[in-house]
Amino acid sequence: MSKAGIIRAVAFFGILGLLPLGVKPQWVINLLIFTLMYATLASSWNLIGGYAGYPSLGHAAFFGFGAYFIGIIFENNVGNGYNPFLILPLVGLCAGLISIPIGYIAMKTRKDVFAIVTITLLFMVQTLAYNLRAVTGGAQGKGVAVPPFAPATFGRPFYYVMLILLLTAMGISFYFRRSKIGLSLAAVRADEDKAHGVGIQVTAVKIIAFAISVGIAAMVGGVWGYYEGFIYPQFAVDPLITIGMVLMTFLGGRATLWGPVLGAFILVPAQQYFSYEFGATQFYLLAYAAIFLIIMLVLPRGILPTLTDRIRLKAKIAAEAAK
């Protein structure tokens, strides 16, 4: 890791780690929790959607799986309040294992088919969440026990767990960039047939990336369900969550380390501001769609790659001029 990179990471996580100690208003902490949540989701989506170029539209299914997992186990009693957090690795592991056969079938052929399977999975899981009433509570929702945290700092544990998940997701993302698996994924993205031809285990790396990616999404879902305290099918398995993470990754720059995080830090506060100002949630969808279309048409590579290119180009011109 370059020196600048280390400083950037330490500063970023240092500031975020100290922030709740200085900032008291509940709504700020709440906003930060959701920002961290989407930053983590977008970073995890980036592993498969960015690095491998396989656009998953079904991550919300695993997000919801995690939420219900925690909700079902901790319906009545959470002990000292920290038990659900300790279960999270198990949630991620289960989601990852479930994703292996699905990923194997979905990634056998082509990228479009992967999108088809994952979006179908999303709606099937949503139907299941509505209809398996004995387990999920159906449309009435499922309550999760309220943790005995002090009201003044209630959000703090959730905040720090989200921060740890973000650190994990970004750590994996960073590792991917430097390791053989990341290079293999980049080759898959560029030309899968050729990658296969030169002896890359394309199927294995794709499945690993997908499993890790949805495992993180499920853990985030678990924390979300616990924090919300009530899980409804339409919010836990929501196409908007999927589109949210895709949108943020695209805005910031896919297949980059910081792009998804940047996207989340721009869009989540903007979204909260607009819903506060205008109220009506119907405008959400329209605004989301409009922003998405604009990004894809005007800035298809995202903010970070475009900026780095600009800076490089300027430096090059300056160097030429100096000669």
Partner 1 sequence: MHLVIQALILGSLTGGVYALMASGQTLIFGIMKVINLAQGAFVIVASYFTFSLFQMTGLDPFLLIVITTPIMFILGAATQWFLLRPLRPDDAAELSLLVTFAVALGLEGALSIVYKTTLRSIMPGYENHSWTIWGYQVNEVRFYAFLLSIAMLVILYVLLQKTKFGRSVRATVQNPMAAQLLGVNSKAVSAFGFGLGVSTTAAAGAVFGLITPFNPGSHYDLISRLLTIVVLGGMGAIGGSVIAALMMGVGAALVSALASPIWADFTFFIVLLLVLLLRPRGLFGAKVRGAL
Site of interaction with partner 1 (CB under 8 A): 53, 55, 57, 102, 105-106, 108-113, 115-117, 119-121, 123-124, 126-128, 131, 239-240, 243, 246, 250, 280, 282-290, 292-293, 296-297, 300
Written as one string, the DSSP assignment of 190-253 is H-HHHHHHTT--HHHHHHHHHHHHHHHHHHHHHHHHHHHSEE-HHHHS-HHHHHHHHHHHHHH-
Closest approach, Cβ 120 to partner 1, in A, equals 4
Contacts of 110 (CB under 8 A, 6+ apart): none
- In angstroms, the first-to-last Cα distance of the chain is 31
CB nearer to partner 1: pick between 43 and 126: 126
CB nearer to partner 1: pick between 15 and 290: 290
Tokens 């170029």 belong to: 53
Q: Is 142 helix (H, G, I), strand (E, B) or coil?
A: strand
Q: Taking the CA of residue 167 as centre, how many other CA atoms within 13 Å lie in the half-sphere pointing to its CB?
A: 14
41, 101 contact by CB (below 8 A): no
Closest approach, Cβ 126 to partner 1, in A, equals 8
Closest approach, Cβ 301 to partner 1, in A, equals 8
CB nearer to partner 1: pick between 114 and 159: 114
Q: From residue 16, give the alpha-carbon distance in Å to each of 33, 258, 270.
A: 11, 15, 19
CB nearer to partner 1: pick between 102 and 187: 102
Residue 142 has φ and ψ, to the nearest 5°, of -125, 125
Determine which helix (DSSP H) or strand (DSSP E) holds 93, and give its type and residue range: helix 83-106
Closest approach, Cβ 146 to partner 1, in A, equals 30
Closest approach, Cβ 66 to partner 1, in A, equals 20
CB nearer to partner 1: pick between 78 and 117: 117
Closest approach, Cβ 105 to partner 1, in A, equals 5
